[in-house]
Amino acid sequence: MHLDLTQGDIKPHIFKLAFPAVIGYFFHTMFNVTDTYFAGMISTEALAALSLSASVFFMILAIAIGMSEALTSLTGNALGEKDIPKAQHIALNGIVFSILLSISLSIIGLIATPYLVEALGDPSYVKATLEYINIILYGVIFFVSSFFLNALLNALGDTKSFRNILIFTAFLNILLDYMFIKYFETGVKGIAFATIISESIAMLYLFYKLNKTKLWHKLSDYRYDQKIIKKLLLQGIPPSVNMFMMAFGMYIITYFVADYGKEAVAAYGIGMRIEQIFLMPIVGLNIAVLSIVSQNSGAKAYERISPTVNLGIFYGFIISAIGVISFFLFGEQFASTMTTNPIVIAQTALYLKVSGFAFFAFVLVFIYVAMLQGIGKPAIIVPISVYRQLIAPIIVFSILAYLQVDIIYLWFSLTAIIFSSGIFLWWYAEKTLKTL
């Protein structure tokens, strides 16, 4: 299937691309929520271990996620130019690149992770964290390959395949978590095994779906193309740095939250899981905008880009308002579905009620990052990411730590930092769009 996004009304295209992606990512988030639920059945230490592992592992995957987004952009540009052989050539180079990247990330992760975990982990949950994440790191190839295969399907306008496999693996993960923890009593290791099995199935399914499209050519037809790899790196490094900084930002936040105790670390992890559920529609809009903008940029139909961005922001703000209201009304109830610890529940609800307002800023960040990637001008993403995830949090949180203030001020500061990034990206992206 090849959905031509350079023709027709933009609004149906957004819904056609975003809705399946939202459903898929919802179930992907429920996959993570399931892991959090079963970790809560083990202990508070296990919850904290998953929270710490999320930030560390996401740093490893960030590069792959950014590179896969660049592959969507490059392939979408070629499809917009109606050059199918070029798109096929890019796809093959992208797939081979993903395999080499997987191996590299696994090795780097296995070497670096123990130092990252021990640097901020309470001794009570360092062991559990390493038991979980070391197993996950051996299966990096399943995660990375899935990202790249889905990136190619997104370029074709297919967001349904990823939705379908995420729904399946979400339910499979419930069964596997239950079996490993209840019957085999493997602790956090069992949660990791369940994840690896599910991800390997997802990778095989996405490869099967790509194999049925016009993009796929046999690996025997592969010809290394230095120009394509260079373009992939040039377009992929900025979003990769952005994703890495998001992950490293989680690590930095966890570092400062750790001073408030393991309950606060567990609450932050649960809060992020719940937050991700409400962020999924915004992620879906990000994918839709990237796919539409990349094809129209390739076709030089620049007049279709601004309406796409505006619709994405409009829908994103509606979703954000729903999220903020939900957190204020049901924050404690959401938290209590994953833990019975009253301290963790209260801390989670506090995080959600304050940080929920950042959703409006996340809409600006996600939509304008997608637009800049789609038009092949993602360079500004790097300095913005460094500011939002590294410089500003370290400076502000260090001051707050010195003043020994309540944790609520940390969440207010984090929200303010995200808003400043979103507003700047809005100004920069709109200025850039006028030059096309």
pLDDT digits (tens, 9 = 90+) for 172-191: 999 999 999 988 888 889 99
Using pLDDT thresholds of 50, 70 and 90, give the confidence band for residue 122. Answer: low
For helices 305-336 and 10-42, give the axis angle rounded to 10 degrees.
Answer: 20
* pLDDT at res. 15: 86
* pLDDT at res. 120: 62
DSSP 8: S
Give the global pTM.
Answer: 0.74
* pLDDT at res. 2: 60
What percentage of the chain exceeds 90 in pLDDT?
Answer: 43
Tokens of 432: 């850039």
Residue 354 has pLDDT above 80, yes or no: yes
Tallying the residues shown for the chain, one arrives at 436
Tokens of 304: 């279709």
Domain residue ranges of the chain, discontinuous segments joined by +: 10-433
Tokens of 133: 């994440």
User: 31-35, 96-100, 300-304, 315-319: which has the minimum mean pLDDT?
Assistant: 31-35
* pLDDT at res. 283: 84
CB atoms within 10 A of CB 310: 12
* pLDDT at res. 178: 94
**330-334 mean pLDDT:** 91
Scored b (16 or more CB within 10 A) or e, 220-257 reads eeeeeeeebeebbeebbbbbbbbbbbbbbbbbbbbbbb
Residue 1 has pLDDT above 60, yes or no: no
* pLDDT at res. 306: 92
Residue 121 has pLDDT above 70, yes or no: no
**140-165 mean pLDDT:** 91
* pLDDT at res. 81: 86
* pLDDT at res. 135: 93
Q: How far apart are alpha carbons 51 and 401 in whole angstroms?
A: 21
